[in-house]
Structure 1
Amino acid sequence: MVIADTPLDKDAACAAAQSDVAYSQLVARIRLVLTVCAVLVAILDHAGPGPANLTALMVLSAYALLCAAVYLCPRCQPRWTRGKLRHRLDVAVSAAVVAAVGQADIFPLVFLFFAIVVASLRYGLAEGVRVTIATVLLYYLAAIITLPEVAPGRVLLRAVVLLAFGRVIAQLGELHILAARRQALLRELNQVANPRFGIERSMTAALERVRAFFMADSCLMLLDDPDSGVHTLRTVRAGGPAVAPAIAVAPALARAMLPAARTGVLLYVRAWRCWRAFGASALSHAGDSAAWTGYAPASLREQAELLGAASFISAPVSFGRGKGRLIVAAATRHLGRGDALFLERIAEQGLHAIDRIDLLDRIASDAAALERKKIALDLHDSAIQSYIGLQLGLVALCRKASPGNPLAADLDRLVSMAADVIAQLRDDAQRACAAPGADDAMFLAALRRQAAQAAAAYGVEIRIDAAPGLALGDRLGAEVLQIVREGISNVCRHSGAATATVALRCTGAILRIDIINPHDGTAPPAFQPRSLSERAGALGGAAVVHHDSAGETIVTVEIPL
């Protein structure tokens, strides 16, 4: 496995390891044992006391007491025990260990290796190498200063051995972290976004995780539908929308991005400016037992220019009935062979859960279409016809009333409200018969239409405050529209407020809907909107009600994405 060409974000990658209490306690126990042993060696195995040895002994004793406090009181750990400063302080104390033990040969190296192992296993190659270099320098200086009778060549030999072994340990730590990150990514890809919100959001979330793992600029999926012959491309970029729909592309563009041989992994790395004599890398890998072979460099160079990337990796993928390529492109860093082989594993295993969701989604959509049609017919026969009869009765009553009747204006308003309800029911019936779908512009327009209807029917001014670039997709948009409609209805019918605000925000993986209305200064009694709570619960979320100091009642609905 090649990992040297795969730089990692160690701080983000090791967040889980940092929270592992058992691992931290084990490290604290080992550190305490080594430090106590260092104190004992400094007392029992030193050739005569001296000022330098006394100072080192005091440093070691203080450090031993601090390590004991950290181990015995894990809840009261100081700041240095929760980050890189921990093993860096071990490196500094190691110099005192070398000065304290004098002629002892093995123990100082064991204590120094401990700091390198901890840094490498937690933060990988870069931090392990830094700690190794610092450890070697401190060890060499401490040995030269405190042990002048030892030959410098002998001390230098130990330092070189320590440097070599430290580099190997750092490499092993890199392997450990990389394997953990890869397993975590495959696990996350099987825990895709909420399937209730459709395949678009699930696929976008999966591609974004792949892009973030490789620290690339974009992740693309190009599929060829053999039935229709249409090529679709889905592109996810850093900071892009939460839903990236698949768009149809021209056959010429698809041919430029799809290799002649649809199987095998491709790797392209553009030549460095300062190493152009060595040329670029254009390689192909056909299977587990195959070796890397050269691939048409001109073709991959054109594709890299099309992607605007310094390097890219590509693996075959099958999704539903379509077949194509999964592509990861980076503009500023070079992807390696290990990256390409792992991308093949992602394409083979990581996207299967989403593929199953897609299949189940299509089956459920066909069944739901029949059910929606039945509901639309029932709605027409039971509700719409009844409201039409009510409207006709109100119109007849208006005609009977004399022009000067004081109830004429109220009757006209009731007729208008009945007409609006009939129009809304007919729209609902038409939407029920059609496939669910509404882009984000239509979603916001529907929200504003609901606000206008509330203002016309109840005289309540509703302000819609949607975050810029809010992208919900068709299914989530339909669910949110129903939630907002119910919330506006509750404000208009039960609060007596003249104004209200509906705020929609996406924070991380949570969609937050706030329905805010002022009250008269006296907080209303505690209540829980049952319909909103049931709708939020069906989506895996929750609805809560609270009152702020500004005299406002806020109904908050949070939905996990």
Structure 2
Amino acid sequence: MVIADSPLDKDAAGSVAQSDVAYSQLVARIRLVLTVSAVLVAVLDHPGPERANVAALLVLSVYAVLCAAVYLVPRCQPRWTRGKLRHRLDVAVSAAVLAAVGPADIFPLVFLFFAIVVASLRYGLAEGVRVTIATVLLYYVAALVALPELSPARLALHAAVLLAFGRVIAQLGEMHILAARRQALLREMNQVANPRFGIDRSMTAALERVRAFFMADSCLMLLDERDSGGHALRTVRARGPAVAPADPIDPALARAMLPGPPGQVLLYTRPWCRWSALGGCALGHGGELPAWTRHDPVRLRQLAELLGATAFISAPVSFGRGKGRIYVAARTRHLGRGDALFLVRIAEQGLRAIDRIDLLDRIASDAAGLERKKIALDLHDTAIQSYIGLQLGLVALCRKAAPSNPLADDLDKLVTMAADVIAQLRDEASRACGAAPAGDAMFDAALRRQAAQALATYGVEIRIDAGASVALGDRLGAEVLQIVREGISNVCRHTDATKATVALRCSGAMLHIDIINPHGASAPPAFQPRSLSERASALGGAASVRQDGVNGTIVTVEIPL
């Protein structure tokens, strides 16, 4: 495992470690034991004929009291017990320990190594090395001041040994954090697949997690589609859309992105300069040889230029729909062998869960398609035929009524409304028989069509405000369209409003749908839209109603993404 090749988000990993109450309590207990022991040694077993440093002993005593308060009352922790400040304060206190018990005692060294261990286990290699350098410098500057007769060469040798030990401890802490992050990623990959939102959104979310884990610029997946015989490429970049569809690509481009042997794990890092191989590598792992071997550097360099990356790792993937490769590409040289081998685990464990979800989703979609056809036939035989009969009766009634009849205009309006309802029912029946509309453009067009229908039928002007960041995909888009349709219907049928606004926006991992309409001078009584609440609850969200400050009612539906 090559730890130094993989950068880590130390603050994010440290925040996870800090949430472990048992671990924090153990660290607080060790700190208290060390501090109290140092105070007792300074008072009862101070080496040398001179007395202990009173100022240093006072600092140690105050620090011991604070450590006891942190350990006994963990809920009331001061600021210095949180974040990186606590182990850096331990480094500063080690100077007081040195002054109180003397440089010949072991307690200053114990304090120094304790600060290094805590920093490394919480924040990894970089913070561990920084604390190591600071502790060694502080200790030996104090030793030179306290014992000027010591040889500088001997002190330098001791400093080198302590720096080496601190570096090893820091790397062990890095390994601990990296293992925890990898386990967390595999756990999240199993939870990210949600069949309700469709394969596109689930796969995009999974690839985005992979890209963010490796701190790369892009993550790509290329698969050969067995059904169509072509190749589809899905690309996820930083701050990209929430849904990245699989786009068909040219066969020549697909062959360039699928270098052989097909079962090998690839690692490529571009050299520092073209005329030297210094700093670069082109390696393959797996296949017939279970070890890292040299791969064709020319082909991998061309692939890196195609990806627009300085370094990349790639692993084979095998799904029910086909086989292919997953790529993690970066413009920096931080990807290593450990990263490439872990990408294999991601492809075998994390992405396979989404593939199983896709298989179950297709089976459910086929069954739902047959059920929709049956519902469409029932809808035609019951509701549509009944409305056609009602329309024919209204037309016959209009013909009987004289032009001067005061109800003639109302009858004509009823005939028109009946015709619109029949057209809408037939449209619903035809869509139930066919596949779901594809693309966000179809979703936007459906929203505009609903607004136009509300204006034509009820005279209510609906303004659609959908941000550019709203990318829902087919499955979730169909659910959101039903929610918006129900909200518009509630405004048209149950209020006197002549205009309303439907606003959709994505904030983090939440979709917000606001349906806003003015209510005049008097606010309506408190209510809860039952249908919208049930639909939102089925998607894992919730619906709420509030009044704004300008005589408006806002119905908000929140759906987790």
Q: Same fold (TM over 0.5)?
A: yes
Shift of 1:324: 0.9
Deviations 1:279-313 (A, max 9, x none): 63110111698221101111101101110110111
Correspondence 1:199-238 to 2 at 5 A: 199-226=199-226, 228-238=228-238
Deviations 1:13-69 (A, max 9, x none): 33221222221122112111111112222222333556x822211221222222222
Asked if residue 7 in structure 1 is aligned to residue 7 in structure 2, the reply is yes
Asked if residue 479 in structure 1 is aligned to residue 472 in structure 2, the reply is no
Asked if residue 298 in structure 1 is aligned to residue 298 in structure 2, the reply is yes
Alignment check: 8 A CA contact 1:387 1:418 kept: yes
Relative distance call for 1:519 and 1:193 in structure 2 (3 A) is farther
The percentage of counterpart residues that share the same residue type is 80
Shift of 1:10: 1.0
User: Which consecutive unaligned segments of at least 5 residues does structure 2 have?
Assistant: none
Q: Which residue of 2 aligns with 1:347?
A: 347
What RMSD over aligned residues (CA atoms) do the two structures have, in Å? 1.8
Matched residues in 2 for 1:30 and 1:413: separation? 83
Q: Which residue of 1 aligns with 2:454?
A: 454
Correspondence 1:370-409 to 2 at 5 A: 370-409=370-409
Matched residues in 1 for 2:288 and 2:82: separation? 41
Greater shift, 17-26 or 202-211, is seen at 17-26
Q: Which residue of 2 aligns with 1:246?
A: 246
Q: Which residue of 2 aligns with 1:315?
A: 315
Correspondence 1:164-183 to 2 at 5 A: 164-183=164-183
Greater shift, 243-252 or 266-275, is seen at 266-275
Correspondence 1:30-429 to 2 at 5 A: 30-46=30-46, 47-48=48-49, 53-226=53-226, 228-273=228-273, 276=276, 278=278, 280-286=280-286, 290-429=290-429
Matched residues in 2 for 1:302 and 1:235: separation? 18
Alignment check: 8 A CA contact 1:309 1:330 kept: yes
Q: Which residue of 1 aligns with 2:539?
A: 539
Matched residues in 1 for 2:291 and 2:554: separation? 62
Deviations 1:369-416 (A, max 9, x none): 111111111111111111111122222222222223222222222222
Q: Which residue of 1 aligns with 2:515?
A: 515
Deviations 1:86-135 (A, max 9, x none): 11111111111111111543211111111000000000000000000001
Deviations 1:411-449 (A, max 9, x none): 222222211111111111111001112311111111111
Q: What is the letter of the counterpart of residue 414 of structure 2?
A: L
Q: What is the letter of the counterpart of residue 171 of structure 1?
A: Q
Greater shift, 455-464 or 310-319, is seen at 455-464
Matched residues in 1 for 2:502 and 2:333: separation? 43
Alignment check: 8 A CA contact 1:222 1:231 kept: yes
Alignment check: 8 A CA contact 1:282 1:300 kept: yes
Deviations 1:206-242 (A, max 9, x none): 1111111111111111112345421111111111111
Relative distance call for 1:110 and 1:279 in structure 2 (3 A) is closer
Shift of 1:140: 0.7
Q: What is the letter of the counterpart of residue 254 of structure 2?
A: A
Question: Match of 1:14, SS?
Answer: helix
Alignment check: 8 A CA contact 1:543 1:556 kept: yes
Shift of 1:549: 3.3
Greater shift, 223-232 or 474-483, is seen at 223-232
Q: What is the letter of the counterpart of residue 297 of structure 1?
A: P
Relative distance call for 1:25 and 1:549 in structure 2 (3 A) is farther
Shift of 1:71: 1.8
Q: What is the letter of the counterpart of residue 75 of structure 2?
A: R
Matched residues in 2 for 1:188 and 1:470: separation? 23
Relative distance call for 1:217 and 1:288 in structure 2 (3 A) is farther
Q: What is the letter of the counterpart of residue 436 of structure 2?
A: P
Q: Which residue of 1 aligns with 2:526?
A: 526
Matched residues in 1 for 2:212 and 2:425: separation? 45
Greater shift, 68-77 or 136-145, is seen at 68-77
Deviations 1:479-536 (A, max 9, x none): 0000000011111111222222111111121111111222234332222211111111
Question: Match of 1:352, SS?
Answer: helix
Q: What is the letter of the counterpart of residue 402 of structure 1?
A: A
Relative distance call for 1:533 and 1:288 in structure 2 (3 A) is farther
Relative distance call for 1:320 and 1:148 in structure 2 (3 A) is same
Alignment check: 8 A CA contact 1:221 1:235 kept: yes
TM-score (norm 1): 0.96
Q: What is the letter of the counterpart of residue 127 of structure 1?
A: E
Alignment size in residue pairs: 560
Matched residues in 1 for 2:4 and 2:170: separation? 11
Q: What is the letter of the counterpart of residue 333 of structure 2?
A: R
TM-score (norm 2): 0.96
Relative distance call for 1:8 and 1:107 in structure 2 (3 A) is same
Alignment check: 8 A CA contact 1:102 1:147 kept: no
Matched residues in 2 for 1:395 and 1:475: separation? 40
Question: Match of 1:121, SS?
Answer: helix
Question: Match of 1:13, SS?
Answer: helix
